[in-house]
Structure 1
Amino acid sequence: MKLPDFEAWAVFAKVAETGSFVAASQDLGLSQATVSKVIGRLEKKLDATLFHRTSRRVALSESGLAALDGATRLLASAEALETEASALAARPRGTVRMTAPMSFGIAHLGAMLPEFFALYPEVTVDLTLADHFIDIVEDGFDLALRISDLEDSSLMARRLAPVRILLVGAPSYFDKRGRPTHPKDLTDHVGLVYTNGRAKGMWRFQHAAEGQYSVTVPGPLRVNNADILRPALIGGAGIAMQPDFLVWDDIQAGRLEVAIPGWAPPPLSLYLVTPPGTLRPTRVQALMAFLVGKIAKANWTQGGT
């Protein structure tokens, strides 16, 4: 089945409306030659003259008058359809596939997202929390939060906040075991070790004046998720290297304290990462803007401990 020449009928309706090939070409953003060619194509297809043309005016023929009402309705319907489709495209709706680190997601995304859903009730978020590397292009994710130094430059990335890794323990622990003043003192302490980082249990420190120092701290617990360390830390069972976004509240409340001031691992950053390219659905843009705004105001991003 051969489709009707919708473009030609739309051009015909515009010429009839304006009474001029020149005016129609300006309204449609086409050249006058193109408008004339399209009308000629339609007249050839119909084997009928649609306009009587003189050097001074353009007038509808009998065949043109007969076709005018249908063509005008066709043009109006198409314009209304485009307007409706544009409005739908501009309104955030549909599913956003997102991935984020396990600990950050549990600590912060769970509290943030209900506000997002209240703002955008037609958007759903398919959230995967994982500490292992996920290829967001291959696995079809719209965006990711990543805590790293971001080696993959092929992705589009926006740095949202620094992430400091802090050596922390309960005041009761330090009262009992003593407060270390140098990383070398940690061999006499009890480590609660997160194993999913690059160091795999080796704690690496740097100091502005004294350089770098690495140490392996003995202890009873090695685990691949940092959240599980919190009860043991607060209970005084040992010390651990924890990201500031997990322990900031506990430090402010005095449940934990930061050890060895001046010595710390190199800071990481929290990035918002998307696949290559600049065209993103409005639902993805909406979630990105929301996360940027919320994380910028988070208490742990404001500096200090």
Structure 2
Amino acid sequence: MEQLKRMAIFAAVVERGSMVAAAEVLGMTASAVSQQIRKLEQSTQVSLLHRTTRKLTLTEAGVGFYQSSAQVMALAQEAEQRLAEMRDAAVGELRIAVPVGFSGRHLSDALAPLLQAHKGLSVQLFFQDERIDLVEKRIDLAIRVGPQEDSTLVARHIGDAVFVLCAAPSYLRAHSPIMSPHDLVSANWLLLSTTQMHETMSLQGPNNQAEKIRIEGRVACNNLLAVRNFTLAGMGISLQPEHEITEELTTGQLQRLLPGWQMPPVGIYIVTPRRDVQPAKVRYAIEALRRHLLAN
């Protein structure tokens, strides 16, 4: 790094024509500039400048070294300019990981205005319910539902999802009625999971009643839409985000079970790798998603 610094000083001396002029530009003293040039010549063991009381001239080696130094400085300035552009303007590829359930219009409605406003921005979306390594996959931000326990990530709470118990009419006609939380224990469950076929569910009911029941899955999937399709096919009971099945509830394709009992709301988060400074594309996307998802 010291050698790169000396190359920059040498290039400034050549371009300004004197140690004094270069010192003014660099915010250094003329003696400090002279000392750095001397160290550069000592380290390379080549004379780069002819010094007289009236002017400085380049040696043959100095001419070639200046050309290389100028190229290095130009590349450094270009790299710095690109970083500044990414910091201040929404440009480049934005990589977003999203649960499958968000593949509807909510996400496109949030991102479309951002893409229209910033022509240098592109978006690549990764839809999957399993959590992926944001750093390994170079993900800029992710939407995640549920507790966020990874301390290496930054999680911003933007709202809550309400999950409802539901089943298709065909399943309810073929099985015992669901009248209380205890009736859920013997039901055919469809779970969003690939690690286990059972889980414990907490329910809150009338008069601050609380029940915690253990449910066993007949089908487990790593994709919420697949769970929903099994539910629509009458294969069992599942938990679904209320805002995603409004149409199915309205048309009667799915029926809400135990309307007096509810699961606690589940947090929705925008998650990013832990960085002190986020590029503009990420900041703008976070704001667009936060504003749109909170409004819906």
- 2:124 alignment partner in structure 1: 125
- Is the 1:207–1:264 Cα contact (8 Å) retained in structure 2? yes
Relative distance call for 1:176 and 1:302 in structure 2 (3 A) is farther
| Structure 1: tracts of 5 or more residues without a match | 53-58
Is the aligned partner of 1:84 residue 2:58? no
Q: Count the aligned residue pairs.
A: 280
Of the candidates 26, 47, 55, which is equivalent to residue 60 of structure 1? 55
- Is the 1:51–1:60 Cα contact (8 Å) retained in structure 2? yes
Q: Alpha-carbon deviation of 1:273?
A: 2.8
**For residues 106-160 of structure 1, what are the alpha-carbon distances to aligned partners after superposition, in whole Å with 9 as ceiling and x for unaligned?**
44698469847664666463736242x54445x4443443322112223222223
- Is the 1:202–1:215 Cα contact (8 Å) retained in structure 2? yes
What is the distance in 2 between the residues matched to 1:210 and 1:50? 89
What is the distance in 1 between the residues matched to 2:120 and 2:236? 44
- Is the 1:105–1:129 Cα contact (8 Å) retained in structure 2? no
What is the distance in 1 between the residues matched to 2:240 and 2:253? 14
**For residues 62-115 of structure 1, what are the alpha-carbon distances to aligned partners after superposition, in whole Å with 9 as ceiling and x for unaligned?**
x3699999899778766654443334343533584x5443x3354469846984
Q: TM-score, normalised by structure 2?
A: 0.65
Cα root mean square deviation, aligned? 4.9
Amino acid corresponding to residue 198 of structure 2 in structure 1: K
- 1:7 alignment partner in structure 2: 8
Q: Alpha-carbon deviation of 1:176?
A: 10
- Is the 1:100–1:146 Cα contact (8 Å) retained in structure 2? yes
Matches within 5 A, 1:1-305: 6-13=7-14, 15-16=16-17, 21=20, 24-41=22-39, 45-46=46-47, 49-50=50-51, 52=53, 59-61=54-56, 63=57, 80-89=74-83, 90-91=85-86, 92-93=91-92, 96=95, 99-101=97-99, 103-104=100-101, 106-107=103-104, 111=108, 115=112, 119=118, 123=122, 125=124, 127=126, 129-131=128-130, 133-137=131-135, 139-142=136-139, 143-169=141-167, 182-184=180-182, 186=184, 191-196=188-193, 200-207=198-205, 209-215=207-213, 222-224=219-221, 225-231=223-229, 233=231, 239-251=237-249, 256=254, 258-261=256-259, 263-278=261-276, 282=279, 286-287=281-282, 289-290=284-285, 292-294=287-289, 296-298=291-293, 301-302=294-295
Relative distance call for 1:81 and 1:216 in structure 2 (3 A) is closer
Amino acid corresponding to residue 92 of structure 2 in structure 1: R
Q: Alpha-carbon deviation of 1:259?
A: 4.1
Relative distance call for 1:251 and 1:111 in structure 2 (3 A) is farther
Amino acid corresponding to residue 13 of structure 2 in structure 1: F
What is the distance in 1 between the residues matched to 2:251 and 2:170? 14
- Is the 2:163–2:239 Cα contact (8 Å) retained in structure 1? yes
| Structure 2: tracts of 5 or more residues without a match | none
Relative distance call for 1:248 and 1:27 in structure 2 (3 A) is farther
Q: Alpha-carbon deviation of 1:206?
A: 2.2
What is the distance in 1 between the residues matched to 2:12 and 2:289? 49
Secondary structure of 2:198 counterpart: coil
What is the distance in 1 between the residues matched to 2:48 and 2:283? 55
- Is the 1:13–1:68 Cα contact (8 Å) retained in structure 2? no
Q: Alpha-carbon deviation of 1:296?
A: 3.5
What is the distance in 2 between the residues matched to 1:253 and 1:32? 82
Secondary structure of 2:13 counterpart: helix
Q: Alpha-carbon deviation of 1:205?
A: 0.6
**For residues 213-258 of structure 1, what are the alpha-carbon distances to aligned partners after superposition, in whole Å with 9 as ceiling and x for unaligned?**
1346799x53324313435655777643112353245456775564
- Is the 1:43–1:50 Cα contact (8 Å) retained in structure 2? no
What is the distance in 2 between the residues matched to 1:173 and 1:297? 36
Amino acid corresponding to residue 12 of structure 2 in structure 1: V
Secondary structure of 1:46 counterpart: coil
- Is the 1:25–1:35 Cα contact (8 Å) retained in structure 2? yes
